[in-house]
Chain A
Amino acid sequence: MWELHSVKKLQGDSTQLFIGLHLVHEVTSPQAFAALEEKNLNVLYPELTYATVDHIVPTINQKRPFLDPLAEEMLMTLEKNCIRHKIKLFNINSGNQGIVHVIAPETGLTQPGMTVVCGDSHTSTHGAFGAIAFGIGTSQVRDVLASQSLAINKLKVRRIWVEGALAQGVFAKDLILHVIRELGVKSGVGYAYEFAGPAIAKLSMEERMTICNMAIEAGARCGYINPDETTYTYLKGREYSPKGDDWEKAISWWRTLASNKDAVFDDEVIFDASQISPTITWGITPGQGIGIDESIPKKECLHPNDQQIADEAYCYMNLKPGQPIKGLPIDVCFIGSCTNGRLSDLQAAAKIAKNKKVAKGIKAFVVPGSERVANAAKKEGLDDVFKNAGFEWREPGCSMCLAMNPDRLEGNQISASSSNRNFKGRQGSAQGRTLLMSPAMVAAAAITGHVTDVRKMI
Chain B
Amino acid sequence: MNNLIKFPKGSIKKVSGQCIVLRGDDIDTDRIIPARFLKCVNFDNLGDQVFADDRKERKGTHPFDVDINQGSSILIVNKNFGCGSSREHAPQALLRWGIKLIIGESFAEIFYGNCLSIGIPCARMSELNISKLQKEVEQGPQENYEFDITSKILRSKSQSWNTLMEKGASEILISGEWDATSLLISQKSKIKSIAKQIPYLNYFEFDID
Nearest A residue to B168 via CB reads A12
Distance A30 CA – B180 CA, assembled complex (angstroms): 19
A7, CB-defined interface residue at 8 Å: yes
Nearest A residue to B40 via CB reads A70
Range class of the A interface residue count: 35 or more
Q: Whole-angstrom distance from the CB of A167 to the nearest CB of chain B?
A: 30
Q: Whole-angstrom distance from the CB of A311 to the nearest CB of chain B?
A: 11
B87, CB-defined interface residue at 8 Å: yes
A137 in contact with B200 (CB, 8 Å)? no
B184 in contact with A149 (CB, 8 Å)? yes
B177 in contact with A11 (CB, 8 Å)? yes
B30 in contact with A111 (CB, 8 Å)? no
B72, CB-defined interface residue at 8 Å: no
Q: Whole-angstrom distance from the CB of A231 to the nearest CB of chain B?
A: 14
B42 in contact with A253 (CB, 8 Å)? no
B184 in contact with A403 (CB, 8 Å)? no
Q: Given A28-B87, A423-B30, A424-B31, verify A74-B41 contact (CB < 8 Å).
A: yes
Residue-wise, chain B 30-51 has the 8 Å CB interface mask toward A (1 for contact) of 1100111011111100000000
Residues of B within 8 A of A135 (CB): 86, 110
Q: Whole-angstrom distance from the CB of A131 to the nearest CB of chain B?
A: 10
B185 in contact with A41 (CB, 8 Å)? yes
B195 in contact with A430 (CB, 8 Å)? no
Question: B203: which of A6, A10, A27, A246 is its contact (CB, 8 Å)?
Answer: A246
B79 in contact with A186 (CB, 8 Å)? yes
A202, CB-defined interface residue at 8 Å: no
Residue-wise, chain A 134-155 has the 8 Å CB interface mask toward B (1 for contact) of 1111111011001111111100
Residues of A within 8 A of B188 (CB): 44, 147
Residue-wise, chain A 71-103 has the 8 Å CB interface mask toward B (1 for contact) of 101100100000000000000000000000000
A249, CB-defined interface residue at 8 Å: yes
Distance A149 CA – B180 CA, assembled complex (angstroms): 10
B201 in contact with A20 (CB, 8 Å)? yes
Residue-wise, chain A 1-37 has the 8 Å CB interface mask toward B (1 for contact) of 0001111101111101010100000011011001000
A402, CB-defined interface residue at 8 Å: yes
Residues of A within 8 A of B146 (CB): none
Nearest A residue to B113 via CB reads A137
Distance A70 CA – B39 CA, assembled complex (angstroms): 6
Distance A39 CA – B92 CA, assembled complex (angstroms): 19
B175 in contact with A11 (CB, 8 Å)? yes
Residues of A within 8 A of B57 (CB): 430
Nearest B residue to A403 via CB reads B35
B208, CB-defined interface residue at 8 Å: yes
A426, CB-defined interface residue at 8 Å: yes
Distance A142 CA – B117 CA, assembled complex (angstroms): 11
Q: Whole-angstrom distance from the CB of A236 to the nearest CB of chain B?
A: 14
Residue-wise, chain B 169-191 has the 8 Å CB interface mask toward A (1 for contact) of 10110010100110111011011
Q: Whole-angstrom distance from the CB of A235 to the nearest CB of chain B?
A: 12
Choose, from B9-17, B20-28, B151-159, the stretch at the interface.
B20-28
Range class of the B interface residue count: 35 or more
Residues of B within 8 A of A48 (CB): 201
Question: A137: which of B31, B54, B88, B167 is its contact (CB, 8 Å)?
Answer: B88
A250, CB-defined interface residue at 8 Å: yes
B191 in contact with A147 (CB, 8 Å)? yes
B160, CB-defined interface residue at 8 Å: no
Nearest B residue to A123 via CB reads B86
Q: Given A10-B168, A11-B175, A31-B42, verify A423-B206 contact (CB < 8 Å).
A: no
Question: B24: which of A4, A148, A190, A312 is its contact (CB, 8 Å)?
Answer: A312
Q: Whole-angstrom distance from the CB of A113 to the nearest CB of chain B?
A: 6
B128, CB-defined interface residue at 8 Å: no
B164, CB-defined interface residue at 8 Å: no
Q: Given A11-B171, A147-B188, verify A425-B109 contact (CB < 8 Å).
A: no
A425 in contact with B30 (CB, 8 Å)? yes
A418, CB-defined interface residue at 8 Å: no
Residues of B within 8 A of A114 (CB): 200
Q: Whole-angstrom distance from the CB of B204 to the nearest CB of chain A?
A: 4
Residues of B within 8 A of A18 (CB): 191, 194-195, 198
A285, CB-defined interface residue at 8 Å: yes
Q: Given A139-B114, A149-B184, A430-B57, verify A423-B84 contact (CB < 8 Å).
A: yes
B67, CB-defined interface residue at 8 Å: no
Q: Given A18-B195, A28-B88, verify A309-B39 contact (CB < 8 Å).
A: no
Distance A41 CA – B34 CA, assembled complex (angstroms): 31
Distance A404 CA – B41 CA, assembled complex (angstroms): 14
B80 in contact with A34 (CB, 8 Å)? no
Distance A189 CA – B197 CA, assembled complex (angstroms): 32
Residues of A within 8 A of B187 (CB): 7-8, 16, 147, 149
Q: Given A11-B177, A185-B80, A428-B35, list of 19 further CB < 8 A pairs?
A: A7-B187, A12-B169, A13-B168, A16-B187, A20-B200, A27-B38, A28-B87, A44-B185, A113-B200, A121-B86, A149-B191, A151-B183, A186-B25, A250-B204, A285-B28, A309-B26, A403-B35, A423-B28, A423-B31
Give 14 CB contacts A-B under 8 Å.
A10-B177, A11-B172, A48-B201, A77-B41, A123-B86, A134-B110, A139-B180, A147-B187, A153-B166, A186-B25, A246-B204, A404-B39, A424-B53, A430-B34
8 A-B pairs with the lowest CB-CB distances in the bound complex, closest first: A12-B168, A137-B114, A137-B88, A249-B204, A135-B86, A147-B184, A139-B117, A430-B53
